[in-house]
Structure 1
């Protein structure tokens, strides 16, 4: 790799980390387009495999802070993650079987859908005392497993962390508060990212030096984004809307670009 290529990789990782720190999620959806169109990774499959490991590392780092703050509902989070891991294994295998150009088209459509979903206001209520125990298992377990499998399959197929799918999924399955859903979702994002990256690495579809540069950039960008987020806290909703519009726009670009190339 050349110096300009390395700088583009670090810079692209920095963009993802910056967005994650600034608006609290969603940045990983930009990883694959950045790797393909900015860094110049020729294979969408390599871009997905490489971004998956970067997403997993970023989520694991953020999970430490949430665990210390005791915002993780561990039994619910682990159950969801195990179901998601099974789904991600299936999704990753299916994703590798799909033509690269078609996969990018589908990825772009997913970006548009997620960007629109991000515009919906999040409910801050919920039951802070919710627990997965013997009495609540008949009600919560089917939802946790079913939604976990579905989200995991999408995560593995597209190589994304899936946080914006996991958070509402956990709330829908358990009625836990938003802060607990965000903290608990990081368990699944870490596990799903690792599951997807292992599957792609097994097929030789991970660029490890590039992943290292991307992760390094992500850590730097995350530090800057987190500090800026504290100063712009009053504008959080406006920032989320701007980012949602960016995701939709990039998604449409990916769809148009991939369709014109096919």
Structure 2
């Protein structure tokens, strides 16, 4: 049972992740696990993965509700991408449990560094098609399966992979890809979280604290998004720096 200080730190960590998700539309969820380990103080890496998966799913769902007010979600693309990813996430979660905590944490740190690099280098060239044409289904299934496997293994939402995967598969506008990614992140997080919950690897009080903080942070991020739209490139660079820094801290420790 976490003490009151851990609960407060969990809520504060959730607010940071929610704020980033609402402001940038993705990327913040990868910070949930290092914050649960190094800020909140969870010593069991697998419990951090299971707890973080539920917390990320809830934060993404809150942001999805806000996104639906300003843009349409391409549900068909989300369905194909998400279905393939959910099946792969179940496999990834089972594989992740087989790794000892320090090794899993080191691998996760490397993924964070790779994610930061992708965020700095990515350049989207979306077309005007808002949903999934029939010929894009194989690509959606392929990208969804690969992203879901990584999401389940590490307990992350995978937004830094979902958005470019959706754009590459369908050429949908970036605003549609962001909304679609929130659907997918919710589905992946719930899938991974349920798998870890069945193995008694979820700290439920911390999930509730993280979600409460994430909801408030997400709403604040959505309100700030329009004001910061002109500085999206700068926001991505700052977020990439945060992710890289957290990854280096995890490697060093």
TM-score tier, shorter chain, comes to over 0.9
Give 3-state SS (helix, strand or coil) of 1:118's partner: helix
1:221 deviates by 1.9
Deviation, structure 1 residue 115: 0.7
Within a 5 Å distance, the mapping from 1:93-242 to structure 2 comes to 93-123=94-124, 125-132=126-133, 136=134, 139-242=135-238
CA distance in 1, matches of 2:74, 2:91: 26
TM-score (normalised: structure 1): 0.90
Distance 1:29 1:220, change over 3 A: same
Partner of residue 72, structure 2: 71
Q: Distance in 2 between matches of 1:125 and 1:169?
A: 11
Q: Which moved more, 1:192-201 or 1:17-26?
A: 17-26
Query: How many Å apart are 1:8 and its aligned residue?
Result: 1.0
Matches within 5 A, 1:42-53: 42-53=43-54
Q: So what's the TM-score if we normalise by structure 2? A: 0.93
For structure 1, list consecutive stretches of 5 or more residues without a partner in the other structure: 258-262
Instruction: Quote the offset at 1:124 in angstroms.
Output: 5.2
Displacement of 1:68 in angstroms is 4.5
1: CA distance, partners of 2:130 / 2:101: 45
Secondary structure, counterpart of 1:156 in structure 2: helix
Q: Aligned partners of 1:245, 1:129: CA distance in 2, in Å?
A: 31
* Structure 1 residue 249, shift from structure 2 partner: 1.3
Do the aligned partners of 2:119 and 2:160 also contact (CA within 8 Å) in 1?
Answer: yes
Residue deviations 1:30-67 (CA, integer Å, cap 9, x gap): 10001011111110100010010111111122223334
Q: Is the 2:129–2:170 Cα contact (8 Å) retained in structure 1?
A: no
Which runs of structure 1 show a deviation greater than 4 angstroms over 4 or more consecutive aligned residues? Answer: none
Q: Deviations over 1:106-143 (max 9, x none)?
A: 000000000111112442531325443xxx2xx32221
Over 3 Å counting, the alpha-carbon distance change for 1:129 and 1:209 in structure 2 is closer
Is residue 75–residue 131 contact of structure 2 (8 Å, CA) maintained in 1?
A: no
CA distance in 1, matches of 2:225, 2:197: 34
Moved more, 58-67 or 214-223: 58-67
Distance 2:130 2:109 in 1: 38
Give, in whole Å, the separation in 1 of the partners of 2:9 and 2:3: 10
Cα distance in 2, alignment partners of residues 32 and 213 from structure 1: 14
User: In 1, are the aligned partners of 2:66 and 2:219 still within 8 Å (CA)?
Assistant: no
Q: How many residues align?
A: 252
RMSD across aligned positions (CA): 1.6
Q: Secondary structure of 1:231's match?
A: coil
Equivalent residue of 2:120, what SS? Answer: coil
Rounded Cα–Cα distance in structure 1 between residues aligned with 2:171 and 2:177: 9
